Amino acid sequence: MTRNLLLIGGPGHEFDDIAEALDGLFVSVGIETTVVTHPDDMMDKLRSGDDDYDLLTVHALHWGMDAERYAHLREDHAYFLSRVDAGGIRDFVERGGGLLALHTAVICFDAEPIWHELCGAAWHWERSTHPEVAKSEVVITEQGRAHPITAGVEDFTIVDEVYGFLDESADLEPLLVGSHGGRTHPLLWARSQGSGRVVTDLLGHEVRSIDHPVHGSILQQAAVWAAGGRANAVGTSGNNRTIGKAEG
């Protein structure tokens, strides 16, 4: 069984329900998930060596909350990731671990440089935006048609919160894209780092996004790929599947 460590927690999202939905998706492809709600617990488990994790998944909101509008949340939720801990996450990946950064992961940790580099993008508080949760068209790119995570996927419609105008790495090659604010934005990308693999998926604001038939299948393939393909993909047919257009 492939081992996944999932970090959740923070304000404004149904993180417990999202964790349950992700666990249900992942267990069906041979991935067992342990959930933690604080970054310190995540780092303790990564360092301890007691659990041999193959995959780290982050769908959480842990950041410094410097802006005054978040002052009422600081006592319960403010968090700063140290460079040492960020380096520990990078070491986990470069030694062969997988990282699956979902939705709010690009807001986490105040664009700490190592975390930013791992994810390939970070929320820019003066520029990044998203429309209200609504039906959005997701388009597969040419790179996406050739990648194991998204091969066989057709364009689809999902009800979600689509991020845009992030601080993106120059070498980012999206597998999925969406549009708002007059331009196209990357929504999902994947790359290798050291001996490990990283997938960043900006979708996933609500459980219905996780449960979406097309997005759910993509999440399963992303987790399997990021974990090094070692999970037993029960119930999937790999790159030969074709997933038709669906609405969330």
Per-domain boundaries in the chain:
2-240
Percent of the chain whose pLDDT exceeds 70: 91
| CATH code at 2-240 | 3.40.50.880
pLDDT at 247 over 70: no
Average pLDDT, the chain: 91
Residue 210's pLDDT is what? 98
Quote the pTM value.
Answer: 0.91
Residues in a beta bridge with 153: 243
213-226 helix and 15-27 helix, angle to the nearest 10 degrees: 70
In whole angstroms, what is the distance from residue 29 CA to residue 200 CA? 19
The pLDDT score that the predictor gives to residue 107 is 95
For residue 29, what pLDDT is reported? 96
Amino acid making up residue 52: D
Q: What is the pLDDT of residues 176-195, one digit of tens each?
A: 999 999 999 999 999 999 99
Whole-angstrom distance, CA of residue 41 vs CA of residue 69: 27
Cα 187 to chain centroid distance, Å, stands at 10
Region 233-239: what's the mean pLDDT? 37
Return the H-helix or E-strand segment holding 10. none
Identify the weakest region by mean pLDDT among 45-54, 142-151, 171-180.
45-54
Per-residue model confidence as pLDDT tens digits over 191-210: 999 999 999 999 999 999 99
Element (H, E) at 197: strand 196-201
Find the distance separating the first CA and the last CA of the chain, reported in whole Å: 31
Q: pLDDT (tens digit, 9 = 90+) per residue, 149-161?
A: 999 999 999 999 9
| Confidence check: pLDDT of 229 > 70 | no
Residues constituting the chain: 248
- CB count within 10 Å of CB 245 equals 12
What single letter denotes the amino acid at residue 83?
R
Rounded Cα gap, residues 19 and 5, in angstroms: 11
The Cβ of residue 120 has, within 10 Å, a number of other Cβ atoms equal to 25
pLDDT confidence of 48, banded at 50, 70, 90? confident
